Structure 1
C-alpha cells in the first residue's frame, strides 16, 4: 500500500454534469429575463406614461353637507326673490300713495277755494242786506216822525192792534194760528179775523192782500212784510209810534219791537 493512500486529496471535487447543466439553465433564464426586462424598459421609455387618478368616494357626511349647502343656496335665492318682490310692491304702494296725496291736496285746495268764494259771496250779500236795512231804518225813522198824527188807532185798526198786543209773550210755532202759539202769518190772519176780515194764510199772499203803502206813511193796523211783495218771508202788524208786533221766531216768540229792530221791506193796508 502506498504511503500516501491515507492522505486526503486537496483538489476540489469535480462537479457533476447534472449540477453544471442546472446552473447553466438558471443562468440562461436569468439572462433571458434581463433581456426581456431591458426590451420592456426600452419600449416603456419610448411610450408616454399614463397615470390614472382615482377620485375619493364621498362619505355620507360630506354628501349631507353638500345637500345642505345646496338647500341653503336655494333658500337664499328664494329669500332674495321674495325681498325683491316686496321692494317692488313697496315702491308701487309709495308711488300710489304719493299720487293719492296729490289728488287729495288738489281736491282740498278746490274745496278751500269754493268755501272762500261762498264766504265772499255771503259777506257781500250780508253787506248788501245791512245796507238795505240801514236805508229802510232811515225811512222807518222818517215815517215815524211823519206819522205821529196817525199813530193812534181807531175803529177796526184799534181792535187789531189790541189783539196782537194781547198775544205778546206767547210761543212761536210754525204753522200755528193760536190761541196759545202762532207763526208770523198765523198771528196776522187771526188778528184780522177779529174784525171780520179774511186774509190768506201765508206771508207771500198777505204781502199783496191790500193796498201798497209807503213806509213813510204807516198807520196802526197796516201789515208790514219782509222780502218782495208776493214773495215775502215774514209779516207783522204795525201798532203805531214806530213799533210793530209779530211772531218773530222760536227763540223770541210773539213780541213788540221798534222798526229799527228789523226794518221791513214794505207794507199793505187792508182797513
Structure 2
C-alpha cells in the first residue's frame, strides 16, 4: 500500500542561519542551581552567626613545639658554650686593655717625675759649679790683692826673721791662708795651688814682708817663744821639739789653726784640741 504523499512546505530563506538566542534552561537545572546557592548562603549565615557568638570570648590556642632531637640539643649546648667563651674573652680583653692603659699612665707619670728630678739635679749641679767658679775667682782676686799689697809693703819695710810691719799684717796673713783652703798637699810644694806645711807658712808671712826659713825645724826657732795658754792669731804653731819640729801651722783664733795637713786633707782649718801643738812662736 502506498503511503500518502506529504505536501512539501517551502523553507524560509533564513532557515539555514543559526539562531543567536540562548537555549532555554530546563526547570530542573534552575532548581538545582537555586538549591546549591541556597545551601552556600545558609552555610555562610551559620558561620557568621557562630563567629558573632564566639567573638565575645577570647580564643586560647596551645601550640605544641616538636621535641628537640639529640643533635639539635648538642648544637644548642655548643652554641651556648661558644657564646659564654666569647663573653669571657671579651671581658679578659677589656681587663687587659684597662691594665695596659693604667700601666701606660703610670709610666708617663714616672717619666715626668724622673725628668723633673733630673732637671732639679742639673740645676743644683749648675748652681754648685757657678758657686765654685765664683769662689775660685774670689780666691784668685784675693791672692792678687795680697801679692800686690806685699809688693807695695816690701819697698818701704825692712824684713827680718824676728820683726814685721804692724797694723793689718796679721789679718793679711790669715786672709792669705784662708784663701788657700782646699788646695792640695804635696811634699815640697810652695804654691800656688799645692803646698806642704812649711811652704804654706813661709808664703803667708811673705805677703807682709816677713822672710821665714823654708823648713819646719828652722821656723820653730824664729821670733819670740809664747806659751800655749797665751796664743794670739798669727802665732806659728809647731809640733815636735823646738829646732827639730816636724810640722807647722798658724793659729787663727777661737781655738783653731790652719795648715797644709797631709795628702788626704790638703789645706784645712782644724781644732787645736784635736791635735795639740808642742809650742808656738810669734813673729808679728
TM-score where L is the length of structure 2:
0.41
Relative CO higher for 1 or 2, CA cutoff 8 Å, sep ≥ 6?
1
Bigger proportion of residues as helix: 1
Give the TM-score normalised by structure 1. Answer: 0.43
